[in-house]
Amino acid sequence: MTPLPIDRRNFIKGSSALLALTTFGASAINIPKPAKPYRVALIGAGWYGKSDLFRLIQVASVEVVALCDPDKNMLAEAAKLVTERQESGKTPQLYTDYRKLLEEHSLDIVVIGSPDHWHALQAIDALKAGSHVYVQKPISVDVLEGEAMVAAARKYNKVVQVGTQRKSTPHLIEAKRKFVDTGLLGKISHVDMCCYYHMRANGNPDVEPIPDFFDYEQWTGPAPLLPYTGLPHKRWWRTMMEYGNGITGDMCVHMFDTVRWMLGLGWPKSINASGGIFVQKGGRSTIADTQTATFEYNELNCVWQHRSWGTPADPEYPWAFVLYGDKGTLKGSTMRYDFIPQGEGEKVHGEVVYEREKYPEDLTEKDIELNAAPATRLHMLDFLKAIEEGGRPIADIEEGHISTASCILANISMELGRPLVYDPEKRIVVGDPEATKLLQRPYRGDWKHPYGEKS
C-alpha cells in the first residue's frame, strides 16, 4: 500500500474546511475552518523553530504576529523569511524576551523551538496566557518540569502537541498497521534502539566577549551561566548537559516514543543505564559519548545504545529501532522500514515519503530535513484537529512527558550507577531519596521552578 501524501491545495485558505489526513490512507476528516486565521507566535527562531513554523504555515491559515529570540541577527533573518512566507505579507513584531511577547499579544498558538532548558517555562507561560502550544522534544530538562507541564495543560484546558513526529511519519504509520497491529511480529519481547551519529561536538573554544546583538543572559535563563565561548545556539548547546539531556534526551526520546506508540507502552517498570565519556575525552563537551539504557516492561526490554564515535551496527539503520517478535522482526527509521519474517514468508521494504512536487518551497529552504517535512505537516494537522474538535493530539504532552522523563531517568541511573523505579503518582524514585532529589534541577538566580506552583 502506498502512503497518500497531503495535497495542500485541498485545504488552503479559500477552502470551506481544513482537510486533515489524521489516519493513514485515503480517509480524511473535515475540520471546521476557523472564522479568522490562527494568531501564532514563535519562541526560538533558530533551525527547528523556523522549520516547525513553516510546516504550520503550509497547512493552515495563520497570521504570524510575533517572533522571539535573544539573537537579534537570527531574529531579523527569521522575520524576513516569515514575511515572505505568510499570505498577508506582514512582518511579525520582534522580541528578545518571550514574557513581553506573551504580555502584548493574544495568541491562538505558540510554537516553541528554543533550547531544551527553556521548554517548560515558556510552554507553561504560554498556556497561562491562553494559547495552545506546539513544543519541541524533549519537553523538559528534569522530570518535575514535565510533571508541571502536564498539570498546566490540564488546568488551562489547552492542547499541547510535542514534536515527536515519528508518530505522524507516513511509512512508520504504514509499518505499524501492517506488521504490529496485525500481529505479524508475534510476541514482541525485545526492542533495540540506537543512534550512531557523530553528533557530539568535541571542541575547546576560547572564552570571548559577548556580541552586542546577543542577549546571553536571556538565552541562558534558568540554566547555569557558563563562560561565553561563542553563540551557543549554533547547536553547541546540545553538547552541554547544562542545557539538555545529551544524546539520550535528544535522540532516544524520538525512538523510545515511537516504540511506546507502536506497542502501546506506558511508564517503564524500571530503568537502568551505564556509560560516560569513554573516547572523546578532549574539549568542553559534557554529554556522554557512549551510553546503554534498558527500559524494562513485563516480559519486554527496550534497550537504547548510542555512540558518537565508531561505525554503526547496521549502516542502513544508524538511528533506528528494531522490534523483535517470535514471528518476525521490524526495523524502522526516519528513512525506511524492513519487515523480516521468521522462517518462510516475504520480506517487505518501505521507504520515506517525500512531497517535493506538492511543496516545491521545501527544496529551497535552508537546512530543511526533507524526509521529516511530511511527518511534521501531518503532526501539525493532528494538532489543529485537537484544537478544533477537542480531545488529545497524537503526541499529547503526557505522552511526551513519559518519553522525556524516561530518558532523563536513564541519565540519572547512569550517574548513580544503579537501576531506578519511578512512581509517577508519588513523583519519587522508589526507595531512593538521592535519585528523587535529582528529579528537579536547581534554577539560577531569580528564576522559579514551575513544579508545585499554585498560581
With a pLDDT cut of 70, the percent of the chain lying above it is: 92
Report the range of poorest mean pLDDT among 261-265, 282-286, 436-440.
282-286
Whether residue 202 is predicted with pLDDT greater than 90 in this model: the reply is: no
Whether residue 16 is predicted with pLDDT greater than 60 in this model: the reply is: no
Q: At what angle do helices 47-59 and 373-389 cross, to 10 degrees?
A: 60
Grid cell of 64 as nine digits: 504570524
Residue, of 22 and 339, whose pLDDT is higher:
339
Contact 52, 412 (CB under 8 A): no
Which CATH architecture best describes the domain 183-201+227-357+406-437? 2-Layer Sandwich (3.30)
DSSP secondary structure string for all residues of 117-152: GGHHHHHHHHHHTT-EEEEPSS--SSHHHHHHHHHH
Query: Which pTM was predicted?
Result: 0.93
Please compute the mean of the pLDDT values over residues 48-61 and round it to a whole number: 96
Across all residues in the chain, what is the average pLDDT? Answer: 92
358-374 residue pLDDT tens: 999 999 999 899 999 99
Confidence of residue 32 (pLDDT cuts 50, 70, 90): low
Whether residue 6 is predicted with pLDDT greater than 50 in this model: the reply is: no
- The pLDDT score that the predictor gives to residue 14 is 28
Question: Where in the chain do CATH 3.30.360.10 domains reside?
Answer: 183-201+227-357+406-437
Cα 113-118-121 angle, rounded to 5 deg: 115
Q: Which stretches within 156-281 are classed as H helix?
A: 170-175, 216-220, 246-247, 253-263
Whether residue 50 is predicted with pLDDT greater than 90 in this model: the reply is: yes
Confidence of residue 116 (pLDDT cuts 50, 70, 90): very high
Only one residue has cell 538511528, namely 319
Whether residue 260 is predicted with pLDDT greater than 80 in this model: the reply is: yes
Whether residue 222 is predicted with pLDDT greater than 50 in this model: the reply is: yes
- The pLDDT score that the predictor gives to residue 452 is 79
264-274 residue pLDDT tens: 999 999 999 99
Contact 293, 245 (CB under 8 A): no
- The pLDDT score that the predictor gives to residue 33 is 67
57-83 residue pLDDT tens: 999 999 999 999 999 999 999 999 999
- The pLDDT score that the predictor gives to residue 239 is 96
- Residues 134 and 84: their CA atoms lie apart, in Å, by 22
- The pLDDT score that the predictor gives to residue 235 is 81
Question: Where in the chain do CATH 3.40.50.720 domains reside?
Answer: 8-167+368-400
Confidence of residue 30 (pLDDT cuts 50, 70, 90): low
| Domain 8-167+368-400 bears CATH identifier 3.40.50.720 | yes
- The pLDDT score that the predictor gives to residue 279 is 97
Whether residue 22 is predicted with pLDDT greater than 60 in this model: the reply is: no
